[in-house]
Each structure stands twice: as C-alpha cells, then as structure tokens.
Amino acid sequence: NDEQETAALVKSFLATSDQEAATVLVRRYQTLVSQTVARHVPMEEVEEICQEVFLDFFRALPNLRDYSTTTYF
C-alpha cells in the first residue's frame, strides 16, 4: 500500500541519502503540494515555495516518528 511504500522510501533516503527515493517522494507529492501552495500565493511564487516545502520536509525527516504519514504536507 502507499503508506508502506512511502515509509520504505523515507527509510531508504534516511539510511543512504538515496536520491532515487527522494525523487519518487517529490514526484508522489508534488501535485498535492503545488495545488495547496497555489491556493495561497501568486502563481509566480508557487515553484519556489514548493521547493522550500520539500527542502523542509527532507530536513525534518529524521525527527518524524511515523514515516508513512503524509500529514507533513
């Protein structure tokens, strides 16, 4: 299921800085993040803010307790 796959990708990224896992995570959630951000800022700012969201996400991963959750986004 998606939650288990997300957890496995996060664990892989944390264990080895797996860039392929990071890419899959970004692709999996980029639409959700982009749509959410686009509701709150001008379109010309969406891409930059989405990049910040994903950077914050990857920085916060070591502190997350449940790697399967997507509530971070």
Q: State pLDDT tens for residues 1-49.
A: 788 888 899 999 999 999 999 999 999 999 999 999 999 999 999 999 9
Supply the DSSP string of 19-62, one letter for each residue: HHHHHHHHHHHHHHHHHHHHTTS-HHHHHHHHHHHHHHHHHHGG
Q: Is a pLDDT exceeding 60 seen at residue 57? A: yes
Whole-model pTM: value is 0.81
Q: What is the pLDDT of residue 6?
A: 87
